[in-house]
Each structure stands twice: as C-alpha cells, then as structure tokens.
Amino acid sequence: MATTTRSAERARLTYFPQLAAERLDIALCRASAAVARAADTHAAEEGLGVGQHLVLQMLDAVGPCSQQTLSEELRIDRSVMVSVCDDLERAGHVRRERNPRDRRSYAVTITDTGRRRLVEAQTSVPAFLDDAFHALTPEERGQLSTLLGKLLGVGA
C-alpha cells in the first residue's frame, strides 16, 4: 500500500467518462485531431502536404485559379496559401503567372509534372481514408458524412 494516490486515481478513471458522455464538442475535437494527425503522417509519407494535395486537385478539376479563389474555395487562409503555392512551385508542380486581365492576381496553373504527381497521390487517398475510418462501417461513414454536412450547413 505504498503507492496510494496515483493508483487509486487511476483505478477510478479511464479517460474521465463524463466527457465522452456529455460533451459532444470535445469528442468531435478529439476525433478530428486523431484523423488530422493520421492525414498529416499519410501526407508526409506521400511527400505531399494536405493543402498542396487539395490545391493540385482543385487546379486539375477547374483549371487555373487565383490564389484568392483557391483560398476561399478550399478554406485555407490566404497567408498560408502563399507558402503552399511556394512549395508547389518549387517542386515544379505548379506555375505562377500574373493574370493578364488583373495583374494583381496570379493565374496558378498545374503543370504536367503536377498532374502526374496528383494521380500518384490520389490513388492512395482512399486507402488512407479506409485506414483512418476502419472503426466505422461504410454505412456509418455515410451517416457521419451526412451529419457533418448538416453541421457545416450544406448550402451555406
């Protein structure tokens, strides 16, 4: 009975159950943090940051964009978008040309290299998602997606 306090505490608790029961907000944050971490390590292995991936994906889908548009659509801060584009440009995945119509903005364009890189990375995403959400069945993932959609205000 030498070790009193700590082991007594520990015995009574397993991650303070009240939290999981009541505070949905905190559960949400924890889950988000977990998958975000997984996404980051996945991205690191892939050699392409999450933001970079999204930018490439969007450029490939909708064509050249200003950094502003990329920012707004992808919900990435303008300041951050600068360095994301810096990295992509340095890697040759993207070209930055001044938009001739409005020389304040860039026309960020995906290169062929970038497109190839995107295809590469793209294929591994479903596998990553499968891994990150392996605790949920496909139906449950659908549920979750719907719920999060409502929470984020689908149309807003």
Which residues form the interface with a copy of itself (CB under 8 A)? 4-6, 9-10, 12-16, 18-20, 22-36, 38-39, 50, 54, 57-58, 61-62, 64-66, 68-69, 73-75, 99, 101-102, 105, 107, 125, 129, 132-133, 135-136, 140-141, 143-145, 147-155
Q: Is 107 helix (H, G, I), strand (E, B) or coil?
A: strand
Asked if residue 102 binds DNA (CB under 7 A), the reply is yes
Distances (CA, A) of 139 to 135, 136, 144: 12, 8, 9
Rank residues 92 and 120 by Cβ distance to a copy of itself and give the closer one: 120
Among 67, 110, 114, 128, binds DNA (CB under 7 A): 67
CB of 45 to DNA, least distance (A): 15
Instruction: Count Cβ atoms within 10 A of the Cβ of residue 57 and give its class: 0-12 exposed, 13-18 middle, 19 or more buried.
Output: middle
30 half-sphere exposure, CB direction, 13 A CA radius:
8
Comparing CB distances to DNA, the nearer of 65 and 121 is 65
128 near DNA, judged by CB under 7 A: no
Q: How many CB atoms lie within 10 A of CB 110?
A: 23
Measure the CA–CA gap between 54 and 75, rounded to whole angstroms.
10
* Least distance in angstroms from the C-beta of 150 to a copy of itself: 5
Binding flag, residue 123, DNA (CB under 7 A): no
Amino acid sitting at position 44? A
112 versus 153: smaller Cβ distance to a copy of itself: 153
